[in-house]
Amino acid sequence: MTEAFVRKCPFCSGDMLRSKMPGHIVFTPPWSGIFKGGKIRAYPWACMGCGVVLHYVESLPVLSAEYREQGAGAAAVSSAASPLKS
């Protein structure tokens, strides 16, 4: 089996195997708009040690760079830093 289809489980450090088919979870980046952005599929990964199934987006580094370019990262940080009123 290739290394691209195996990763370590974050819970038990067991081997996780990727499904051949993408899952039904479809992610649309919120900064790209509903109709402008493309759909990104998440693949289910099953742990052979503890049995958990996690969905991973394969193009996460690309999404992270796109998020930083749009400037949405600065807006999220500034709104998170404001204190809550009670």
pLDDT in tens, 62-77: 777 877 887 654 555 5
pTM of this prediction? 0.57
User: pLDDT value at position 73?
Assistant: 47
User: pLDDT value at position 11?
Assistant: 93
User: Cβ of 44: how many Cβ atoms within 10 Å?
Assistant: 17
- Which residues, 6 or more positions from 23, have their beta carbon under 8 angstroms from its beta carbon? 41, 42, 43, 44, 55
pLDDT in tens, 14-66: 999 988 877 666 666 666 666 666 677 788 899 999 999 998 877 777 777 87
